[in-house]
Amino acid sequence: MDYRQLSDPNAEYTMRDLSAETMGVSNSRGPRDVEITDVQTTIVDGNYPWTLVRVYTDAGLVGNGESYWGAGEREIIERMAPFLEGENPLDIDRLYEHLVQKLSGEGSIAGKAISAISGIELALHDVAGKILDVPAYQLIGGKYRDEMRMYCDCHTEDEADPDACADEAERVVDDLGYDALKFDLDVPSGHEKDRANRHLRGPEIEHKAEIVEKVTERVGDRADVAFDCHWSFSSGSAHRLADRLEEYDVWWLEDPIPPENHDVQAEVTKRTSTPITVGENVYRNHGNRRLFEEQAVDIVAPDVPRVGGMRETRKIADLADMYYVPVAMHNVSSPIGTMASIHVGASISNSLAVEYHSYELGWWSDLVEEDIIEDGYAEVPEKPGLGITLDLDAVEEHLADGAEMFDEA
């Protein structure tokens, strides 16, 4: 099915069409007179099915971006491609709002619509930087730091074994050079009675506390360690777990409860001294507003290719800064989305770190020509755009089954 040919009923009556033609915006900008000619996507089968995006221009320059992984984004991006053709890619903010408005009837408040728009937005920053010959961080305000701290999301063959987790933590610190780690706590303990009710029994809490104790004691002050719960527990269980972990040096406890109820989120955060982190399931700055106003989060964790893109994440960070909340960006992306997060992290004052989730995937770095992470840190590139060069041969080699390769420039 050709999603570019779907009808657009809203176009017949919308009062807020932000296209250049409707707005009377000219492309006559001298050497910056550039038009978008096409938008294409493909999916790479990594440790997640990464959705890569390319924005093509009549200047021969191509912007690379990435939407959040999984099903649905490719079709939505294809649906939006006609809305971008003929537009100047330098008008990033207007084009972002244009796409949000165009998809308003299809759910552009959150979810797949926003993550699809995010992928295009990343590609626009890449190609705009190439047109203007500046790195992407310069487009969103400049930089606070020359390198970005990366935290390694760690896994073992037996993630429920506290000793195995401690061994892996020590290996990642000593052998790979990371001074920031994360482990999962939503792992089976052998004490579960019912997986549906979100309730943690006492032995389950003690098992999770043992993981935290052994990992944090093993690395000591050589690394900060966070622990992820993936929205798994009830409010009471989250309270009890967070209270139990207060005696340990926990960097943060991530997503202990489901993300929908902000009131419960505020209670969980306020009732413990264990730092609580949420954000990857909260979309745009509007979605994050109550988290900060109600002091319902200690550290916010937006995912750049998911929650709105680079400029929107910058807006979230600025809103967080008004409440003195630091930002630790969630990231499960290919090198493209990862580098976009690095640029955002470099440009905001309240940045803690960017997640790296692919240390066990040997070919992750093969997708681009540049080295990205060394000894747990990523140098912020000075090359135009995102500062990375996509290796199309490597992309084609790792395409998901049935995915079609996008065109070269």
Decide if pLDDT at 12 tops 80. Answer: no
CA-closest candidate to residue 355, choices 340, 370, 371: 340
Confidence category of residue 14, pLDDT binned at 50, 70, 90: low
3-state secondary structure (DSSP) of residue 256: coil
Alpha helix positions (H), 90-221:
92-102, 111-132, 136-139, 162-174, 202-219
Amino acid at 144: Y
Residue 232 backbone dihedrals phi, psi, to 5 degrees: -95, -20
Average pLDDT of the chain is 95
* From-to residues of CATH 3.20.20.120 in the chain: 140-383
What is the greatest pairwise CA distance in the chain?
69
Amino acid at 246: E
Q: Give pLDDT tens digits for 216-267.
A: 999 999 999 999 999 999 999 999 999 999 999 999 999 999 999 999 999 9
Structure confidence at residue 87 (pLDDT): 97
Structure confidence at residue 106 (pLDDT): 84
* From-to residues of CATH 3.30.390.10 in the chain: 3-134
Q: Per-residue pLDDT averaged across 351-373, rounded?
A: 97
CATH topology of domain 140-383: TIM Barrel (3.20.20)
For the beta carbon of residue 30, count every other beta carbon within 10 angstroms. 5
Structure confidence at residue 205 (pLDDT): 98
Instruction: Give the CA dihedral 110, 115, 120, 123, nearest 10 degrees.
Output: 130
What whole-number distance in Å separates Cα of residue 154 and Cα of residue 171? 10
CATH match for 3-134 among 3.40.109.10, 3.40.50.1820, 3.30.390.10, 2.40.50.140: 3.30.390.10
Q: Give pLDDT tens digits for 385-400.
A: 999 999 999 999 999 9
Q: Which residues contact 21 (CB under 8 A, 6 or more apart)?
A: 86
Structure confidence at residue 108 (pLDDT): 87
Q: Per-residue pLDDT averaged across 55-80, rounded?
A: 96
- pTM of the full predicted structure? 0.96
**Beta strands 62-67; 49-57: pairing state:** antiparallel
